[in-house]
Amino acid sequence: AQTVTQSQPEMSVQEAETVTLSCTYDTSESNYYLFWYKQPPSRQMILVIRQEAYKQQNATENRFSVNFQKAAKSFSLKISDSQLGDTAMYFCAWRYSGGGADGLTFGKGTHLIIQP
Amino acid sequence: NAGVTQTPKFQVLKTGQSMTLQCAQDMNHNSMYWYRQDPGMGLRLIYYSASEGTTDKGEVPNGYNVSRLNKREFSLRLESAAPSQTSVYFCASTQTAENSPLHFGNGTRLTVT
């Protein structure tokens, strides 16, 4: 079974700083997708960024970027110029790309607090 | 475009009571999912449905049943609620394509006393 590990239960940084959230995963598959979701206090689950495992180039979405290291099975999220609205739970997730519909496997989450 | 709609938003049950959580999506997605979220545990898959007429167990199916009523609707039923089922429940849907993200409803907070 696939597992996703987020080793930082909580992080706190000052506004405008850069912060990196770590995620590692364990799988024997070679084709898969990785995602980061944000969950603010409203409880909504919001897709932040996704990465295809076959792509070497790291995905970026505005202030959000990933550092994808396939050999190390690592998928960290970097948030640049952090804002108060970035305060949320962040979940890393994995999905097999070989067919089937068995959804995402999630990590336990990192609670990110942006201090003013 | 409503996306994924879950009802109710909040529910309190007594041990042994039953209830059904409703979920509907209007994005013409084939696959639908039920997750539960507990503090420090992330989201865990309860059941999923790859297409209309099919359902499969996820990681934590015990104590739950599901029905894929049609392509739009996927319900989760607790036949005899237990305090261990106190949780936040999320419904999600996606296209079959593997790089498609899951689209989530806003969740149901269930408390079983």
Residue pair A40/A111 in contact by the 8 Å Cβ criterion: no
Whether A104 sits inside 8 A of B104 (CB atoms) is no
pLDDT digits (tens, 9 = 90+) for A92-102: 999 887 666 67
Residue B97 has pLDDT above 70, yes or no: no
Are A58 and A67 a contacting pair, CB within 8 Å?
yes
Q: Is the pLDDT of residue B70 over 90?
A: yes
A100/B92 Cβ within 8 A: no
DSSP class of B72: S
Please determine, for residue B98, whether its predicted confidence score (pLDDT) is greater than 80: no
Chain A nearest-CA residue for B108: A43
| Chain A environment of B31 (Cβ under 8 Å) | 101, 103
pLDDT at B40: 86
pLDDT mean over B41-47: 93
- pLDDT, chain B, mean: 93
Alpha-carbon distance B91 to A37, whole Å?
15
Residue A55's H or E segment, with its range, is: none
Q: Check B45 against A103: CB less than 8 A apart.
A: yes
A41, A86 Cβ separation under 8 angstroms: no
Chain B, nearest residue to A42 by Cα: B106
Q: What is the pLDDT of residue A100?
A: 65
Contact between B50 and A100 using a beta-carbon 8 Å cutoff? yes
Query: Taking CB atoms and an 8 Å cutoff, what residues of chain A touch B41?
Result: 108
Q: What average pLDDT does the segment A30-52 reach?
A: 93
Place of tokens 């936040």: B88
Average pLDDT over residues A72-91: 97
> A108 and B41: CB-CB below 8 Å?
yes
Token pair of B16 as six digits: 């042994």
- Confidence category of residue B3, pLDDT binned at 50, 70, 90: very high
Q: Which residues of chain B are within 8 Å of residue A98 when distances are taken between CB atoms?
A: 98
For chain B, percent of residues with pLDDT exceeding 70: 96
Strand extents, DSSP E, chain A: 3-5, 10-14, 19-21, 24-26, 32-39, 46-52, 60-61, 64-69, 74-79, 88-96, 105-106, 110-115
